[in-house]
Amino acid sequence: MPHLLRLTRDGTTPEVSRPAPERLVSGDPVHTTWNIEDRDGLFCGLWQSTPGAWRVSYSEWEYVRILEGVSVLHEDGQPPVTLRAGDSAVIRPGFTGTWEVLETTLKDYVIRT
C-alpha cells in the first residue's frame, strides 16, 4: 500500500446521496462523495453538491478547501460565511446551522471524529 495518496476522482467510485428530507431547507441538492481515506477516525476525499440548502450539525472536526463553486455556511446565531473557490475553513464540533450551495460546489475535506 502506498503512503502517498492523491485526492482525485479518477478511479474512485463515488457515493451519491441527498440530504434527509427532515433536514432539507430548499432545492434538491445532490451530493457526490469520493472517499479517498477512511481509517482510525480520519476521513478525507472530495465532495460535490448541486445547489440547495439543508440543516447541518457537526459532532466532528472538518477542514475544507473549496475547489469550485460558492457555498454559504449559516451558523446559528452568527453572521453567514461565504466560501468560494480557493477558500479554506475549519468547522469545529458543535457547529449547527445551514449549508447553502449557491453554485455547484466541489471541496476537498479532512474529517476527524
- For the chain, give the percent of residues with pLDDT over 90: 93
Place of cell 502517498: 4
What is the C-alpha separation between 110 and 100, in angstroms, rounded? 20
pLDDT for 35: 96
pLDDT for 89: 98
Among the listed residues 80, 105, 106, 107, the one whose alpha carbon sits nearest the alpha carbon of residue 95: 80
CB-based contacts of 26-30 (< 8 A; 24+ apart in sequence): 26/52, 26/53, 26/100, 27/51, 27/52, 27/53, 27/101, 28/52, 29/53, 29/54, 29/101
pLDDT for 65: 98
What is the C-alpha separation between 104 and 41, in angstroms, rounded? 28
In this predicted structure, the answer to whether residue 27 has a pLDDT above a threshold of 80 is yes
Domains of the chain in start order, with CATH, are 15-112 (2.60.120.10)
pLDDT band of 112, cuts 50, 70, 90: very high
Find the farthest-apart pair of alpha carbons in the chain and give their distance in angstroms, rounded.
Answer: 45
Q: Report whether 84 contacts 70 (CB < 8 A).
A: yes
pLDDT for 5: 85
Q: What confidence tens digit (pLDDT) does each residue in 33-79 have?
A: 999 999 999 999 999 999 999 999 999 999 999 999 999 999 999 99
In this predicted structure, the answer to whether residue 1 has a pLDDT above a threshold of 90 is no
* Predicted TM-score (pTM) of this structure: 0.94
